[in-house]
Amino acid sequence: MMLGGANLTLAGRLADVSVTLNPCEMTVICGPNGAGKSSLLGALAGLVMPDRGSVSLQDAPLRRMAATARAQAIGYLPQSAEVAWDVTVETLAALGRLPWRSGAAADAAAVQAALTALQLEPLRSRPLSQLSGGERARALLARVLAGEPRWLLADEPLANLDLAHQLALLGQLRALARDRGLGVVLVLHDLAQAMNFADRVLVLDRGALVADGSPEAVLTEQLIGAVWGVPARWLGEPGARALLPGCVTSGRGP
């Protein structure tokens, strides 16, 4: 089931971006601040209406889909997710089941799977007010996973996570793509994480799509210098690459 946007234009944010995303892949959207990454992700989720162009899921325009059907198909985690009530981790995850009417047993199994995947089982009865920033971030993602979407779109999901949980989460998301057939689309600032974990990388600059392909083909030292204005050098072996940056040359940084 393909998810794609054709000729997406948002005034001041996106300029004629066209992309078709594939299931079973983890796609990472990268770019400097203000490049249009969050705008593209919001448009693909059907939450931002483009001034021109359209977004479709398996050739069906998102704008014509019922809200429930869209929520079942696409799980979206924004950069700054707010929760109005101080509910427990388990209750928050269970909110991801709202688009479904599959019965208590199926709902409980989906919630349990999400809590287990994100290592939240010991915290299931803890209120959100008693969580650390990283624990809260994982609880919010559990809500999305519990909805069992076919597409998982997340804007900076690694924010507030320590290195161990960043690596664990990226591994889990890649497994969801490769083993369960999900389409996973992430906005990331960390180019090394994109290089090591992504199947595909999209690079935006000033609202335009300037590169699209495998991380090795896209995240070259030349492109990083041109887009981020930072001379950089890759170190290490494939799958464990590290980026050694030089001095900022343009005043624009990641």
Domains annotated for the chain, with CATH where assigned, are: 3-245 (3.40.50.300)
Higher pLDDT, 250 or 59: 59
User: Tell me: the pLDDT tens digits for 222-250?
Assistant: 999 999 999 999 999 988 999 998 755 44
Does residue 254 carry a pLDDT above 60? no
Higher pLDDT, 84 or 175: 175
b/e sequence 150-187, b meaning 16+ C-beta within 10 Å: bbbbbbbbbeebeeebbebbbebbbebbeeeebbbbbb
Q: Which residue has the higher pLDDT, 178 or 246?
A: 178
- Cα(232)–Cα(235) distance, integer angstroms: 10
Q: Give backbone dihedrals phi and psi of 251, rounded to 5 degrees, phi first.
A: 85, -5
* Six token digits for residue 193: 């994480």
Dig out the tokens for 9 from the structure: 């234009």
Relative orientation angle of helices 133-146 and 104-117, to the nearest 10 degrees: 140
Q: What mean pLDDT comes out for the span 173-193?
A: 93
Element of type H or E holding 192: helix 191-197
pTM greater than 0.85 (yes/no): yes
Residue 103 pLDDT greater than 90, yes or no: no
Give percent above pLDDT 90 in the chain: 67
Q: Is 239 helix (H, G, I), strand (E, B) or coil?
A: coil
